[in-house]
Amino acid sequence: ASRLVSLEETEKVTSGAKIIMVGIDNAGKTSLSIALKHRGALSLLFQKLYALTPTRGLLRSKIEVFGMDIHMHELGGQSIYREDYLNNPQQYFIGTDVIIFVIDVQAKDRFEESFEYLKQITNVTNALKLKVPWKIFFHKSDPDYEIDEKSTEVFGSIIEYMSKNCPFFNPAKDFFRTSVKIRSSILGAFSHIFRGISLIEQGTKEASQKVAEQLNADFFGLYDSRSNVCFAQYTTGDQYVDIAHNAYYEAIETIVNIREPFLRIRRYTLEDDANEIFILRDLHFSGDIYIMAVLTQDEEMATNLDQDAVQEIIENQLRDWIEFRGYAAFPLD
């Protein structure tokens, strides 16, 4: 059967990917990177964040996702460094797979400065003729912070500007509200990005739907245990995604040894009085550990969940997409 990847795409997968995070100083770029990689209690995460100092120039880090190296390039946002990015953009932006612009939603007095910087960055990347997807993170959207009408208007103007000036920005799906206090918001945003740049999103979408239907699930997600990123998911409604990601983070923090078998079950009552059962358990494929998350209203399925049967269902549907380290070696025909 014909594969879903071309030779060029295969080469891209094996060589890794480059993500740039950019924004003015104190927007929260470093906190996003740390929160994405952090495992453990939220209090320990905050201890790390309190000790942060401003990023000086370019800060590089790497995370492995789906067996692929993701190179994170954070561009420090102090004005002295911004000038260099704008004057020498080819040194920073060439070879980029995704650009994330981070805006601090609580810094109302700096909205104009942030918006102007965004325009400058888009101008130089357009001049370089980069065909790069853009993502906007409205960061520090904490649960206890209320965004006022004026701020909403500014954010709307930003999205409108990006829609008109960046052909690879989709206003329907390329902006995210993120907060380190809601780690599922960060997990969800980066999972969306990583699925796209690793070229597996379209390949897993249909397969994930088939798994969800066989499990009678409103949400099915398969997570990479090394990065906590959801590489395959399907949902019958968007409202289930945040519930599942939040439940995943809460449950994963209770697991002491990820290499030991585990099962976590929790019940939720939604606003429409529907009862959802959340199931989290480990799965093993070719020596690697993956984590399955399911939301279902099917009491019988949840009660009588057969580990071997579930593993077989997932393996049958997602076999080609689980062997990530051998991804490029698969025959194209």
3-state SS of 131-169 is CCCEEEEEECCCCCCCCCHHHHHHHHHHHHHHHHHCCCC
Read off the pLDDT of residues 144-196 as tens digits, 9 standing for 90 and up. 999 999 999 999 999 999 999 998 899 888 999 999 888 778 888 888 888 77
What average pLDDT does the chain have? 83
Assess contact for 75 and 58: CB atoms under 8 A.
Answer: yes
- Distance between CA atoms of residues 146 and 41, nearest Å: 25
Judge whether residue 238 has pLDDT over 90: no
Mean pLDDT of 45-50: 66
Of the listed ranges 70-79, 196-205, 219-228, 307-316, the one predicted with least confidence = 196-205
pLDDT in the model for residue 204 = 77
What is the pLDDT, as a whole number, of residue 332?
Answer: 28
**DSSP 8-state symbol, 179:** B
Range with the poorest average pLDDT among 65-74, 115-124, 168-177: 65-74
Residue 8, pLDDT score: 37
Instruction: Tell me what percent of the chain is helix, strand and coil, each rounded to the nearest 5.
Output: 45, 25, 30
> Is the confidence at residue 297, as pLDDT, over 90?
yes
pLDDT of residue 41 exceeding 80, the answer is no
Q: Which residue, among 90, 114, 94, has the nearest Cα to 104 in the 3D structure?
A: 114
How is the beta sheet containing 263-269 ordered, strand by strand?
A: 229-235, 219-224, 288-296, 275-285, 263-269
The pLDDT value given to residue 57: 80
Percent of the chain with pLDDT over 90: 41
Calculate mean pLDDT across residues 82-104: 94
Distance of alpha carbon 304 from alpha carbon 308, whole angstroms: 12
pLDDT at 67: 66
Which carries the bigger pLDDT value, residue 9 or residue 247? 247
pLDDT at 10: 35
Residue 196's pLDDT is 78
Residue 43 pLDDT: 61
Asked whether the domain spanning 201-329 has the same topology as the one spanning 7-197, the reply is no
Domain boundaries, the chain: 7-197, 201-329
Task: Select the more confidently predicted residue: 167 or 330.
Answer: 167
Tokens 């380190």 locate to 180
Match domain 7-197 to its CATH number in 2.40.160.40, 3.40.640.10, 3.40.50.11900, 3.40.50.300.
3.40.50.300
Average pLDDT on 16-34 reads 88
139 touches 26 (CB < 8 A):
no
Contacts of 223 (CB under 8 A, 6+ apart): 229, 230, 231, 248, 290, 291, 292, 293
Indicate the length of the chain as a whole number.
Answer: 333
**CATH architecture designation of domain 201-329:** 2-Layer Sandwich (3.30)
pLDDT band at 123 (very low <50, low <70, confident <90, very high): very high
pLDDT of res. 201: 60
One-letter amino acid for residue 331 of the chain: P
Kindly give the residue spans of alpha helices, DSSP state H, lying in 166-298: 183-197, 201-214, 239-252
Q: How confident is the model at residue 49 (pLDDT cuts 50, 70, 90)?
A: low
Query: Whose CA is closest to 322, among 67, 70, 69?
Result: 67
